[in-house]
Every structure is written in structure tokens, then in C-alpha cells.
Chains A and B, each alone.
Chain A
């Protein structure tokens, strides 16, 4: 299935901003994150089609997955 993955802030460093990627069914959000070499502890918010989702949420064909890091500095 095709999923559009959008990365934010420093997750873009050495990766990409937005990319349409191919994944087997079923694929969970956490598998996409780990597959991109991102530690799950670094994650702030994940959204599918602009709605909050969980690590275990399964992706569907055509989904837009947005991945944000925790940003906590003040």
C-alpha cells in the first residue's frame, strides 16, 4: 500500500520532508517510525490524515502520516 509520510522539524535532517512510500499490509505507525531510524522515545505527536493516532494504529492505503518530535526547550 502507498502511504504519504510527512516528517517535521529535525526528523527531516538526513531524511525527507514528505515522501510517498510503499509498505506491506498490515503496517503499524510504530513500524514506519522505527523503519526510518527514529527512536520511539523521540516522538511527540503522530497524526493520520490530520487526526491523532497511536503507535499501534494500522495504516491504510492512501493515508497521510505526520510525525513530530518532542520539542521541549524554553
Chain B
């Protein structure tokens, strides 16, 4: 019985990572199931030990039970993916039709010299294996379109890491209809923005129209801008998954790393 074995193996309510791997093999279950069972019994997997003063075991368990859809696995998406892995989100649906090119190396965490020419979502799968093999990643090397709506509906939160306004319109509309909260992020140079769409049409507010050269623009972006905005997106995702309040719901902030300012803008009409 898995719970009995967990109790035998754990010490001071901590289950060592090596023991979690052994238990998964011996009990013929996957690692995620071992970690879920441990947390349900108030035993912390070692890898989440440093979350203990932030989350309750029940909250960490909830994160492991969660599914998040990541739309775009480039700059923002790569950084968000990394943080979701380390946070312990159990299932990530990773969506991106593109493969890596050398001009992605300046800011896209999943892009390494070895990954050049390979699909971004496949790089995500490989990264998950080395950072958190318990995470179940569903890689979809496709653009966001009705073909994958069914898959994305499995998510409790959708994260917008896209780079086109037209695609963002489509995603935001889908999320509103499906009643899934959408965590928006966007970056350029030293600057970015972050917001959470629930009931209000946030994306239509932020982008009143589709820009002339929407899918042809390739803005310059710093890796520090990407990491800052992606981290804010992950912070909002945690709050949504754990049902914690946030002033960013139906609201947005402008992020300026050059002036060191994060300003709440509001979305009043």
C-alpha cells in the first residue's frame, strides 16, 4: 500500500526525492502520484520542502492536481514553464508551433545551442524531464486554434505568452466563453505589462485594434524583462490556482525595468 510505504520511508514528514523515485518504481505508479499521495498524508516531498512556510500541504497538493495551459513557449512561455515546473503544477499543456532559431538565444530560457532547429514544445518536454520529472507535459506543436480548444479547456488557468494581437483576441474570447481565467503578459525592450482577465474584456482594453504589422513585428526584448514579466504571470497563476485574492484580477499593471516602476493602471471606462 502506497501510503504505508510513504510513512515508512518519510522522516520528519519529509519524503526524500530519491525515495520518491524508488517508491514510484516499487509501487508501479508515476512520480506525480507518489507526491500527491504524500501531500494528502501531510508528508512533504523533499523538492517542495522550501514551500512549507508559504503553502499548506493541502495547497501544494492542489498545485500538483492543477492543469495549466501555456500558450506560447518562447520568451515569456519558456520562463513561465520553468517556474511552473519548480512550483509543482502537475500538468502543463504547452502550445507553440515554432522551432528555435539562434535569435531566440538572448532571452528564451528553453532555447539552448543543442535545441536550435527543434520544436519549442519538445524542448519543454526535455526540460521537464531534467527539472521536475513528475510534471506531466502535453506538447502541442500547433498554433492556438479551434483544433486544440478541447485540450485547452482541461486547464484551470490559461497563460498568454503569445506575440500577436490577433492571436490574443482569439485566445481572450475563447477564455471568456469557456470561463477560464487568462493571465496576460507582454514585453518589449525594458518594458512589459501584466494583467488577469476574468469577467472583464481585458485584452480588448489593452489592444483596442490589431496593429498594422501585427504578425510581422519582431520587437527587441531583454531577458531580464522577460523574466520579470513571466514571474509576475506565475505569481498571478498561483493565486488563481489556490483561489487567493489579487488586485490584478480584471486589471493590469505596466512594468518599466528601466525606471524600476510597476504601476497599477486600472481598467475603468
Contacts and interface: CB of A to CB of B under 8 A. Distances in A.
Interface of A: 8-10, 12, 17, 41, 44-45, 47, 50-52, 66, 68-74
Interface string B80-103: 000000000000000000000000
7 contacts: A10-B188, A10-B189, A10-B191, A50-B265, A51-B268, A52-B267, A71-B192
Nearest to B214: A72
Main secondary structure of the interface of A (DSSP, over half): mixed
Contacts of A8: 191, 254, 256, 263
Interface in B189-232: 189-193, 205-208, 211-212, 214, 217, 219, 221
Given A8-B254, A8-B256, A10-B189, A74 B77 contact: yes
B181 interface: no
A72 B162 CA distance: 8
Nearest to B72: A74
Interface residues of B, number: 41
A44 B74 contact: no
Nearest to A66: B265
B212 A72 contact: no
Contacts, number: 81
B186 interface: yes
Given A8-B256, A45-B208, A74 B162 contact: yes
Given A70-B211, A72-B186, A74-B161, A12 B259 contact: yes
A72 B165 contact: yes
Contacts of B212: 41
B205 A74 contact: no
A72 B254 contact: no
B134 to A, nearest CB: 27
